[in-house]
C-alpha cells in the first residue's frame, strides 16, 4: 500500500509541477468544455445568404419570393435578372445558394403540364449550411405551389386541398441541432486525447530523467492518479458541460459513472503502454499531435462501422475511445441501461486488462534511459 500511495503522490506532484502536463491534463480539458461547443451555440444554421433569379415574374414566383423572405434559415440578399450574375456571387462565396425560377413556371403549374423545374444551386463546402438552405428552399417552393393551385382547385369545386403532412418527433436529439449531435461524442474524444497525450508526455519525461517504477504498486499508484484526473474531467463534461450547454442528457448516474470509470481506466492503461516507447516528452507531441482526427473518425460517430472496411473497423476496437464514445453517448444521450452497453463495457474491460499487463511488463522489465551528461 505504501508503494501505491507513493506512486499516487509522485504522479500528482509531477502533473502539477510540469507545465506542459498541467496544460494538457487539467487546463485543456477545462477550456475545451467552453471553447469547443461555442461554435455550435445556435445549434442550427440561420439567416444564410441566398440570391434569387426570377425569370417568370408571375404571382406564383412572387409567392416563392415572399416565402423565401419569411424563412428563418434564409436571408434573401440579391434579386437579379440574369443567371450569370447570380452564379458569380455564388462562385465568390458572397452567397451560399441561389434560386432560379424559369420563365413560364406558373403557366406550367396551372395548366397541369410539367413545368420547368425551379433550380437550386448550393455551395457544398459546408454540409450543415447546405442542408439548412435545402430545407428552407423546399418548404418555400411547396407552400408557393400549394397557394398557386388553390384558386384553380376552387374553380373546379374542390374546397380545400389536403396535402400529406409529415410529423417528426426526434427521440434523442430533440432540438435537431448539429451541436447536440457532434459535441457529446467529441467530448469523450477530448477526455481521451488530453489524458492520453498528457500521460505519454510525462512517461517520456520519466524515461529521459532515468526514473523507474520500483514496483508494480508504484505503477498502480501512478495509474490511479491519472484515473482520478481523467474521471474528474469526464464528470466535468458529462455533468456540468452538457447541462450548461443544454445538450441531451438522459442517462442514469450509476451507469454513466461505471462507463466513465472503465473508459478512463482503459485509456490510462493504453497511454502508459504507448508512453513506454518514448524516450523524451517532447517527442510525444511530434508523433501524436495529429492523432485526434484519426481517433474521432474511428469512433463510429462521423462514419458508421458498417460503412468502414472490415479491417479498419476491427482496428478501431483497439482504441479505448471507440468503445468509450459508443457506450457513453448511448448512456448520456439515449438513456441506455447497462445491459444495452455490455458489449462496449466488456471491450473496455478487456482493453484495460491487456494494456495494463503490457504496461506492467514494459515498465518493470525495461532498463531506464539516462539523461545525457552535460558537456
pLDDT in tens, 164-173: 444 555 666 6
- Cα–Cα distance measured from residue 52 to residue 77, given in angstroms and rounded to the nearest whole number: 8
**Residue 94 within a domain:** yes
Question: Are residues 246 and 184 in contact, defined by beta-carbon separation less than 8 angstroms?
Answer: no
Residues spanned by the domain of 143: 48-155
**Residue 71 within a domain:** yes
Kind of pairing between the strands at 74-80 and 48-54 = parallel
| 247 plus 270 within the same structural domain | yes
| 13 plus 124 within the same structural domain | no
Least confident of 41-55, 60-74, 171-185, 241-255: 171-185
**Residue 375 within a domain:** no
Per-residue CA distances from 301 to 86, 99, 268, 313, 354 (Å): 37, 33, 22, 12, 25
| 78 plus 189 within the same structural domain | no
Q: What confidence tens digit (pLDDT) does each residue in 19-29 have?
A: 888 888 888 87
Confidence of residue 127 (pLDDT cuts 50, 70, 90): low
- Nearest by Cα to 110 from 164, 156, 152, 173: 152
| 356 plus 336 within the same structural domain | yes
Mean pLDDT of 156-163: 51
Mean pLDDT of 239-250: 79
Grid cell 458541460 is found at: 241
| 255 plus 197 within the same structural domain | yes
- Nearest by Cα to 204 from 363, 8, 23: 363
Q: Which residues contact 294 (CB under 8 A, 6 or more apart)?
A: none
pTM over 0.75: no
**Residue 374 within a domain:** no
**Residue 171 within a domain:** no
Report helix, strand or coil for 249.
coil
**Residue 202 within a domain:** yes
Cell of 69: 423572405
| 351 plus 266 within the same structural domain | yes
Question: Are residues 177 and 252 in contact, defined by beta-carbon separation less than 8 angstroms?
Answer: no
Cell of 153: 382547385
Cell of 297: 473518425
- Cα–Cα distance measured from residue 256 to residue 251, given in angstroms and rounded to the nearest whole number: 7
- Winning range, highest mean pLDDT, from 38-47, 104-113, 240-249: 240-249
| CATH number, position 149 | 3.40.1710.10
- What's the CA angle centered on 119, arms 114 and 124, to 5 degrees? 145
**Residue 163 within a domain:** no
* CA 227 to the chain's CA centroid: 24
Q: Total domain count for the chain?
A: 2
- The proportion of the chain whose per-residue pLDDT surpasses 90, expressed as a percent, equals 18
- Winning range, highest mean pLDDT, from 89-93, 131-135, 149-153, 261-265: 261-265
**Residue 213 within a domain:** yes
Least confident of 18-32, 63-77, 150-164, 338-352: 150-164
| 6 plus 142 within the same structural domain | no
- The proportion of the chain whose per-residue pLDDT surpasses 70, expressed as a percent, equals 81
| 191 plus 131 within the same structural domain | no
Amino acid at each position: 500500500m505504501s508503494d501505491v500511495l507513493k506512486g499516487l503522490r509522485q504522479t500528482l506532484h509531477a502533473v502539477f509541477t510540469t507545465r506542459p502536463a498541467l496544460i494538457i491534463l487539467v487546463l485543456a480539458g477545462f477550456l475545451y468544455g467552453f471553447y469547443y461547443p461555442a461554435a455550435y451555440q445556435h445549434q442550427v444554421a440561420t439567416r444564410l445568404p441566398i440570391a434569387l433569379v426570377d425569370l417568370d415574374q408571375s404571382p406564383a414566383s412572387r409567392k416563392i419570393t415572399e416565402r423565401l423572405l419569411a424563412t428563418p434559415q434564409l436571408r434573401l440578399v440579391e434579386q437579379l435578372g440574369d443567371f450569370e450574375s447570380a452564379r458569380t456571387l455564388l462562385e465568390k462565396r458572397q452567397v451560399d445558394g441561389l434560386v432560379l425560377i424559369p420563365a413560364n413556371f406558373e403557366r406550367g403549374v396551372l395548366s397541369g403540364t410539367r413545368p420547368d423545374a425551379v433550380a437550386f444551386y448550393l455551395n457544398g463546402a459546408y454540409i450543415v449550411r447546405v442542408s439548412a438552405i435545402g430545407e428552407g428552399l423546399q418548404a418555400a417552393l411547396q407552400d408557393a405551389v400549394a397557394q398557386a393551385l388553390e384558386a384553380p382547385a376552387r374553380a373546379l369545386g374542390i374546397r380545400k386541398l389536403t396535402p400529406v403532412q409529415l410529423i417528426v418527433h426526434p427521440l434523442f436529439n430533440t432540438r435537431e441541432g448539429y451541436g447536440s449531435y457532434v459535441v457529446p461524442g467529441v467530448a469523450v474524444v477530448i477526455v481521451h486525447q488530453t489524458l492520453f497525450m498528457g500521460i505519454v508526455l510525462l512517461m517520456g519525461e520519466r524515461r529521459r530523467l532515468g526514473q523507474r517504477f520500483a514496483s508494480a504498486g508504484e505503477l498502480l499508484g501512478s495509474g490511479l492518479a491519472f484515473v482520478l484526473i481523467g474521471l474528474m474531467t469526464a464528470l466535468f463534461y458529462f455533468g456540468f458541460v452538457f447541462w450548461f450547454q443544454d445538450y441531451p442528457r438522459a442517462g442514469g448516474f450509476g451507469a454513466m459513472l461505471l462507463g466513465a470509470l472503465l473508459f478512463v481506466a482503459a485509456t490510462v492503461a493504453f497511454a502508459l503502454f504507448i508512453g513506454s516507447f518514448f524516450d523524451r516528452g517532447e517527442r510525444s507531441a511530434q508523433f501524436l499531435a495529429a492523432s485526434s482526427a484519426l481517433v474521432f473518425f474511428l469512433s463510429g460517430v462521423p462514419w458508421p462501422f458498417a460503412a468502414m472496411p472490415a479491417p479498419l473497423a476491427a482496428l478501431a476496437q483497439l482504441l479505448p475511445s471507440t468503445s468509450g464514445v459508443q457506450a457513453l453517448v448511448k448512456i448520456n444521450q439515449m438513456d441506455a441501461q447497462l445491459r444495452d452497453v455490455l458489449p462496449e463495457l466488456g471491450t473496455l474491460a478487456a482493453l484495460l486488462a491487456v494494456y495494463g499487463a503490457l504496461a506492467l511488463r514494459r515498465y518493470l522489465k525495461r532498463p531506464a534511459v539516462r539523461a545525457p551528461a552535460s558537456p
